[in-house]
């Protein structure tokens, strides 16, 4: 069996009045991440980790924010396409581990719904998706409420 590991990192600015979609789930919040797509940075970091593990560059290469076809698109659709790409190369998801860094809103009550949604989108078992939320303890752009960041690690396997 062959295995590979990839990592992803993403940052988005918070803006007033924009929906906060994370892991394909809308989270109640006065602010949401700014982006060309729906700005779901949980899906974005998973995409980057999977693309990196497969040596297929990154999300911006495949879904440019200069391309109008991706304007407002659901990031779960981008994730679905990335999964097709890695499967075309003979790989499958082993597991993904995501850490979301933000001080507000609190995500722990939403993690089970996000995990279940991602498992469905990715066609994997719940225990193959780990989601964690942490704060920045009030420091930096995240602590000042200016933005949100996330990172992910993905393991992929092939026979």
pLDDT digits (tens, 9 = 90+) for 77-98: 999 999 999 999 999 999 999 9
Q: How far apart are alpha carbons 66 and 73 in whole angstroms?
A: 13
> pLDDT class for 74, splitting at 50, 70, 90?
very high
- If DSSP states are collapsed to H, E and C, what string results for the chain? CEEEEEEEEEEEEEEECCCEEECCEEECCCEEECCCCCCCHHHHHHHHHHHHHCCCCCHHHHCCCCCHHHCCCCHHHHHHHHHHHHHHCCCEEEEEEEEEECCCCCCHHHHHHHHHHHHHHHCCCHHHEEEEEECCCCCHHHHCCCEEEEEEEEEEEEC
Q: Is 146 annotated as a binding residue?
A: no
Q: Is 64 annotated as a binding residue?
A: yes
**pLDDT on residue 149:** 98
Q: Is 61 annotated as a binding residue?
A: no
> pLDDT class for 141, splitting at 50, 70, 90?
very high
Alpha-carbon dihedral of residues 27, 64, 8, 79, nearest 10 degrees? 60
Q: Is 4 annotated as a binding residue?
A: no
> pLDDT class for 120, splitting at 50, 70, 90?
very high
Q: Is 12 annotated as a binding residue?
A: yes
**pLDDT on residue 30:** 93
Q: Which residue segments constitute the domains of the chain, with CATH numbers given? A: 3-158 (3.30.1330.50)
Mean pLDDT of the chain: 97
Q: Is 89 annotated as a binding residue?
A: no
**Which whole number is the average pLDDT over 64-81?**
94
> pLDDT class for 29, splitting at 50, 70, 90?
very high
**Which whole number is the average pLDDT over 31-58?**
97
Indicate the pTM of the whole model.
0.97
**Which whole number is the average pLDDT over 87-111?**
97
**pLDDT on residue 136:** 95
């Amino acid at each position: 069996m062959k295995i590979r590991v990839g990592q992803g990192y993403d940052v988005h600015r918070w803006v007033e009045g924009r929906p906060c979609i994370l892991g394909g789930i809308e989270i109640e919040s006065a602010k949401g991440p700014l982006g060309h797509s729906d700005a779901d940075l949980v899906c974005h970091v998973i995409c980057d980790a999977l693309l990196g593990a497969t040596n297929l560059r990154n999300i911006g290469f495949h879904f440019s924010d200069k391309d109008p076809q991706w304007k407002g698109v659901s990031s779960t659709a981008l994730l679905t396409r990335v999964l097709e790409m890695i499967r075309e190369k003979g790989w499958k998801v082993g597991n993904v581990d995501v850490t979301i860094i933000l001080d507000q809103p609190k995500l722990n009550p939403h993690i089970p719904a996000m995990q279940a949604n991602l498992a469905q989108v990715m066609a994997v078992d719940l225990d193959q998706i780990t989601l964690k939320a942490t704060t920045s303890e009030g420091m930096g752009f995240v602590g000042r409420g200016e933005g949100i960041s996330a990172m992910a690690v993905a393991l992929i396997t092939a026979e």
